[in-house]
Structure 1
Amino acid sequence: MPETQRQFSLVAGEASGDLLAGLMLDGLQARWPAMKAVGIGGPQMLSRGFESWWPQEKLAVSGYVEVLRHYAEIAGIRRQLRARLLRERPEIFIGVDAPDFNLDLEAGLRERGIKTAHFVCPSIWAWRPERVVKLRAAADHVLCIFPFEPALLEQHGIAATYVGHPLAKVIPMTPDRAAARKALGLDPDAEVVAILPGSRRSEVRQLAPMFFAAAALMLKARPGLHFICPVLPNLRPEMEQVLGASELAGRVTLLDRQSHAALAACDVTLIASGTATLEAALFKRPMVISYRVNSLTWRLVMQRKQLQPWVGLPNILSGEFVVPEILQDAATPEALAEATLAWLASPDKVHALQQRFCAMHAELLRDTPTLCADAIQKVLAR
């Protein structure tokens, strides 16, 4: 096909997928400069010339109950997207994470002769192992971000390539805390806690009140603390409302996005389980991981289908609890405050943790954009 006619399609359903897809687009555009990329994506993808047919926020819901509430709209988007892709027939469809949305879409496109790839292996090694059957039907190739995944997928007859974790390339091995604090207008000597309750509206509703309540308890114990909280623009009104109902007036700086600046600047973070915990590890920051979902979601998914004792990526990659996880009913403001303050009182433990995180960073660091482009080129050549 002439270079001017190349068209790839991508779908990234949330902020973490947008970052991954944006970096992959760097590799694809370097390999095919005249390519056109279309589908559903966020600001990182849009900044690279991506054409998004629906706002990414339409897909950013989590949990069984929350997904059920939005099911009709999400299913409608997927039907319309599938129909459009079958008309336009891109050379390849690449689903970026969001397996509940992307795997069925990929399978339907693949049945109709469109090549497919899936970027980020679903966490079949952690929970929901039955997804491997769906993945095998959906993807011609899987791009893996953790080094142990290709061998696991090979056992199930799935072609895969380890491309490193894109975040390991984005985040410096030695973050500049002083520069981050200067950029954010923070006192260079203050004790700073970053509060990251998640990038989905459902997470803000579930976690932000609890995280801010924990912060209020921390402040009573250490009055000099300062808190920073990155927030997506579309969630800012809701976050401001939660903050206004807390005891933290004037003590929390809300940041427009800037989660990486917040992690670089902080001494410790109270953080929702998810990709952000790996970002915190790559920034070499101690953390307390927490999560709380609808009780039905917890019983149906986490308690019944979890294969490992950990939910946080730093712990999963380390194979042990290197940072605390305080989940569901155990996640009280008192427990979160106590665990977060413990890091501030334990500089030796923080130093040891940072050494572990440096080794993790080195293992995940690869030329991800180029390796993604190499893998996609091989799929196209089949």
Structure 2
Amino acid sequence: MVAGEPSGDLLAAAVISGLREQAGNLPIAGIGGPRMEAQGFDTWYPMSKLAVFGYVEALRHYREIVGIRNAARDRWLASPPSVFVGVDAPDFNFGLEESLRTQGIPTVHFVSPSIWAWRGERIHKIKRAVSHMLVMLPFEEKIYQDAGIPVTYVGHPLASTIPRDPDRAAARARLGLSDSDRVLALMPGSRRGELRHLVPRFLEAARLLRQRDPALKVLVPMVNAERQAQFDALAATLPQRVDVQCVAGGTHDILAACDAALVASGTATLETALFKRPMVIAYAVSRLSWWLMKNKGYLPWYGLPNVLANQFVVPELMQDAATPQALAEQTWRALTDDAQAESLRQRFTIMHDDLRRDTAVLAAQAILATAQAKA
């Protein structure tokens, strides 16, 4: 099994739990993170080696990443596993899956890349690489059925992990907040490149928001000590200090407690929707990466809440549009528009129900069935 970043670690840990439930203490090894290790996963390489962001950073780390992939491939070819499971990280995993599958090892890929949004031509590589695809969004199933790729819709594990009705008061109590506090969740991502491009903009937006409301509480979840150190270093470069509270591993408490979130495009936007919170979605990469990406998209939306709703239900500010001033203006509306917050709560509740399945069990059953079949 290979997972390449914190969101993949979370998903993979749920799958491992399902596999243990279905098949006992079978050996599972490869590349992963702490949540997978807590489920008894044998880590050959830490997933932090793969957690790069954007074309430019990927090129910078290309030699190391390819070296890891080749070493893992050779190890599995020398001692073939019953099945390989790639969790997200498509640029890393599809090449690995194709190499393994050609040698008779069944491959499962969990989390479809956004071929419905951009780079749809990847479906041909997926057909060569993947014995069975596990998808988390309901509309993705038909895409793979039409392409003749075995597929199972397993729902999104976050929809089972996150309560349908989050306890805001309890989360605020755990964070030392009062019921009357106005609270903003600031979520600039979990990867080095995301923080580098988004932290300065997000912090400057927070400073502008605190000019409007000096009592505003700004909370920032931190996935690990390395990202905390990077965040602190970036904050120190700003001309004016911004008063925020960083919370280690506190994403879900912060989302349950907040009034609105300013969030990097990615899985965190879906988490925010499942917590039924208003949000502003932002995204920025290097100019070269943006130039390479911007003309390959098919949809007008980037954030999963908008994609699932098939319309703009929350604002998105991408690249040059994500100025601190624009982020602050849109976020202020998200913090203060009570009617819109209630409308979003209702829409996000319907979305939550649509995504809720017994993901761990469904994924485990499909993986074990694939292990019994020919690649």
TM-score normalised to the size of structure 1?
0.95
Aligned-pair CA distance for 1:249: 4.7
Aligned-pair CA distance for 1:68: 0.3
- What is the aligned counterpart of 1:112 among 93, 96, 103? 103
Contact 1:216 1:247 in 2 (8 A): no
2:115: which partner in 1? 124
Contact 1:213 1:247 in 2 (8 A): no
Q: Confirm whether residue 244 of structure 1 aligns to residue 244 of structure 2.
A: no
CA distance in 2, matches of 1:208, 1:187: 26
Q: Confirm whether residue 254 of structure 1 aligns to residue 209 of structure 2.
A: no
- What is the aligned counterpart of 1:374 among 346, 362, 365? 365
- What is the aligned counterpart of 2:337 among 336, 342, 346? 346
- What is the aligned counterpart of 2:287 among 261, 276, 295? 295
CA distance in 2, matches of 1:100, 1:169: 28
What's the secondary structure of 1:305's corresponding residue?
coil
What's the secondary structure of 2:295's corresponding residue?
helix
Name the aligned partner's letter for residue 380 of structure 1: A
- Report the more deviating stretch, 305-314 or 256-265: 256-265
- What is the aligned counterpart of 2:139 among 144, 148, 167? 148
Contact 2:31 2:44 in 1 (8 A): yes
Name the aligned partner's letter for residue 255 of structure 1: V
1:269: which partner in 2? 261
CA distance in 1, matches of 2:246, 2:101: 44
1:357: which partner in 2? 348
Q: Confirm whether residue 64 of structure 1 aligns to residue 55 of structure 2.
A: yes
Aligned-pair CA distance for 1:244: 3.1
What's the secondary structure of 1:25's corresponding residue?
helix
Aligned-pair CA distance for 1:247: 6.8
TM-score normalised to the size of structure 2?
0.97
Using CA pairs below 8 Å that are at least 6 residues apart, which structure has the higher relative contact order? Answer: 2
2:297: which partner in 1? 306
Count of aligned pairs? 372
- What is the aligned counterpart of 2:271 among 275, 279, 288? 279
Name the aligned partner's letter for residue 261 of structure 2: T
Aligned-pair CA distance for 1:255: 1.0
Percent sequence identity over aligned pairs: 50
Unaligned runs of 5+ in 2: none
- Report the more deviating stretch, 371-380 or 264-273: 371-380
CA distance in 2, matches of 1:29, 1:283: 29
Aligned-pair CA distance for 1:201: 0.6
CA deviation vs aligned residue, 1:69-101 (integer Å, no higher than 9, x gap): 010100000000101111221110000000000
* Closer, same or farther: CA 286–248 of 1 in aligned 2, 3 Å: farther
Name the aligned partner's letter for residue 286 of structure 2: N
CA deviation vs aligned residue, 1:193-227 (integer Å, no higher than 9, x gap): 01000000111111001100000000001111010
1:11: which partner in 2? 2
Aligned-pair CA distance for 1:30: 0.4
Name the aligned partner's letter for residue 315 of structure 2: P
CA distance in 2, matches of 1:168, 1:263: 14
CA distance in 2, matches of 1:214, 1:355: 28
CA distance in 2, matches of 1:241, 1:63: 21
CA distance in 2, matches of 1:21, 1:329: 34
- Report the more deviating stretch, 60-69 or 257-266: 257-266
Q: Confirm whether residue 198 of structure 1 aligns to residue 193 of structure 2.
A: no
CA distance in 2, matches of 1:34, 1:329: 50
Name the aligned partner's letter for residue 307 of structure 2: I
2:176: which partner in 1? 185
Aligned-residue CA RMSD (Å): 1.1
1:64-103 → structure 2 map (5 Å cutoff): 64-103=55-94
2:310: which partner in 1? 319
Aligned-pair CA distance for 1:250: 7.1
What's the secondary structure of 2:31's corresponding residue?
strand
